[in-house]
Structure 1
Amino acid sequence: MAVTKLKLNDGAAPTRNAEIIALAREPRKARKYDVAALAGRVAGTVLPPLVTIALILVLWEVLCSSPTSSLPSPTRVLDESWELIVNPFYVGQGVDQGMFWHIFASIQRVAIGFTLAVVAGVALGALVGQSDWAMRGLDPVFQVLRTVPPLAWLPLSLAAFRDGSPSAIFVIFITAIWPIIINTAVGIRNIPTDYINVARVLRLNPLEYFTKIMVPSAAPYIFTGLRIGIGLSWLAIVAAEMLIGGVGIGFFIWDAWNSSLISDIIVALVYVGLVGFLLDRCIAFLGRIVTRGTANA
């Protein structure tokens, strides 16, 4: 308000007043520009996938709307599986559970197996990365074992544990550990020489070197391995649960197939995709925090 009361006493005053008014209005314009820019970025991020999904749904509806179609259309999926969609927390007898409980059981198995894979994978990757002897001795073994399909380990794990849940956890562990080992080893081998020299000058003990030099330097590589590992883990648990039975999203899909509930299978696949995406985003977000943005999202 004080700006508007300035008197225009000479020829230079109007110019000066105009500059002051412009400066006073600048923050408001900046805020408007920031809001507009933010809205533009949000629209640019959200609209393309929404348009793509809408086009897929329209094409799906057109292709599967015929009464003779072997696959249900989106409207038919909603009609046949509406109770499954709106009651995810349903609790019944045995495996008759809502979708939430099946997914929750699968996530629990993935969390245990993936955590064990992270601990063992980072430790083995650090060993292989910093020791030429370990590299020559273990790398050929790792390269052979990582090519074994995850489900090929399931009969062996069932024979060893004699129970479905620990067997599935072992499949998760053996699936996720290889990309973690390989990426950790690559990250350790790419530690800058200056860091190694500094550690020698400071005379860091092995534990200090591991926690202060190796892990921070290799963190972007490690989190790349973690993202690959969590994706493979989610793929493996769905397949493993189809065979071991019990509560879990994999068994739900197989049971729906045996009951000819194709719409329920489609709903379950949507949940599987969304959960897999969220797991990947969580690891990527954690990686950005730990590596201070050096790990790509």
Structure 2
Amino acid sequence: MSVSQRADSVTQPAPASWTPYLQDLKDVLVQKVLPPLLILALLGGIWEILCSSPGAALPPPSQVLRDTWDLIINPFYDYGGNDKGMGWQILASLERVAYGYSLAVIAGISLGVLVGQSTWALRGLDPVFQVLRTVPPLAWLPISLAGFQDSTPSAIFVIFITAIWPIIINTSVGVRNIPEDYRNVARVLRLNGYEYFIRIMLPAAAPYIFSGLRIGVGLSWLAIVAAEMLIGGVGIGFFIWDAWNASMISDIILALIYVGIVGFILDRMVAYVGNRVTRGTSKG
């Protein structure tokens, strides 16, 4: 093949079968990726300008990157005790969140269905729920420490008690708002309790349930970071508090960035599952 032929082959347009995919990729980049990147670049530039002066209380992004480079490139080091990399700290926090949030999902959906289905349960339990849900998450920590006598189950309980309320409330609202036509269909088909729960109740209330699950997972992540500052041990919350005691502001900023990214990923994961499950159902 001559040089001119090779040049012509390089400049040929992509096959027609690839054109729609390339166009879709371009649309995604322009509409969903580019805007947040531009905003982040703008905010980073403002942060750099404001914090670059000699008397600034906080370090600029360039200094944060220099100070925390070892933590970024080696997130899974383990020197024993609590001296672990950021990856291990986040995984320890996620493990506690997984236990507490899973318990909150099971108990929250069950109680939400009960309150949504039964008028007596609504009258008896709803005032209790409304009072308990206003208690700040960290206010539960001393009680849980006194009851469990251990930091790990205490942190899991704080996550559980924080995440359960939006799940209960949204589930009960979803159950109470099931259209009467759906209930009539269940009567006509003579569905038993289990069949009604699986075929009618869950699909109809799913959009409400997943709204509560998304709120709950966000509150779970908030609660564990705050609780770990007090209980100590391995975890991203204690890492932030330990960095503060050592006056390592750059480490705190990096940890906060990671906390935000992990929280965003958790929310997107629950939202993705919710979109898959509720596809074809009407949203309340």
- Indicate if the aligned counterparts of 1:288 and 1:294 stay in contact, CA closer than 8 A: no
- 1:16-55 maps to which residues of 2 (within 5 A)? 32=19, 35-55=22-42
Distance 1:196 1:80 in 2: 62
2:62 equivalent in structure 1: 75
Equivalent residue for 1:58?
Answer: 45
Whichever residue aligns with residue 244 of structure 1, its letter is I
Q: Could you list the per-position Cα deviations for residues 127-166 of structure 1 after superposition, in whole angstroms to 9, with x for gaps in the alignment?
A: 0001111111000000000000000000000000000010
Aligned length: 269
Q: How far 1:209 sits from its partner (Å)? A: 1.5
Amino acid at match of 1:203: R
- How high is the TM-score relative to the length of structure 2? 0.91
In the alignment, what sits opposite 1:278?
265
C-alpha distance after superposition, 1:145-195 (max 9, x if no partner): 000000000000000000001000000000000000000000001111111
1:90 paired with 2:77, answer yes
CA distance in structure 1 between the partners assigned to 2:261 and 2:123 by the alignment: 40
The one of 125, 131, 147 equivalent to 2:134 is 147
Q: Which amino acid aligns with 2:279?
A: R
Contact 1:146/1:178, CA 8 A, preserved across alignment: yes
Give me the whole-angstrom Cα distance separating, in 1, the residues matched to 2:29 and 2:180.
42
CA distance 1:112–1:142, change in 2 (3 Å):
same
Taking only the aligned residue pairs, the percentage that are identical comes to 68
Contact 1:287 1:293 in 2 (8 A): no
**Match runs of 1:131-170 below 5 Å:** 131-170=118-157
State the distance in 2 between where 1:293 and 1:151 align.
39
Unpaired runs of at least 5, structure 2? 1-14
**1:1-297 to 2 correspondences below 5 Å:** 32=19, 35-292=22-279, 294=281
Pairwise CA distance, 1:29: 5.8
TM-score of the pair, normalised by structure 1: 0.87
2:51, 2:28 → 1: CA distance?
A: 35
CA offsets per residue over residues 19-40 of structure 1, 9 Å max, x none? xxxxxxxxx7685355335412
Identify the residue that residue 12 of structure 2 maps to in structure 1: none
What's 1:8 paired with? none
For structure 1, the residue ranges without an aligned partner over 5 or more in a row are 1-27
**Take 1:177 and 1:114, find their aligned partners in 2: how far apart are those partners?**
8
Q: Give the whole-Å Cα distance in 1 for the aligned partners of 2:94 and 2:56.
A: 34
Q: Which residue of 2 aligns with 1:17?
A: none
Please say if residues 287 and 295 of structure 1, whose CA atoms lie closer than 8 Å, have aligned partners that are also in contact.
no
Give the direction of change, closer, same or farther, for the CA distance of 1:154–1:252 in structure 2 (3 Å limit). same
Q: What is the CA distance between 1:261 and its match in structure 2?
A: 0.3
Letter in structure 2 aligned against 1:52: I
* Residue aligned with 1:166, SS: helix
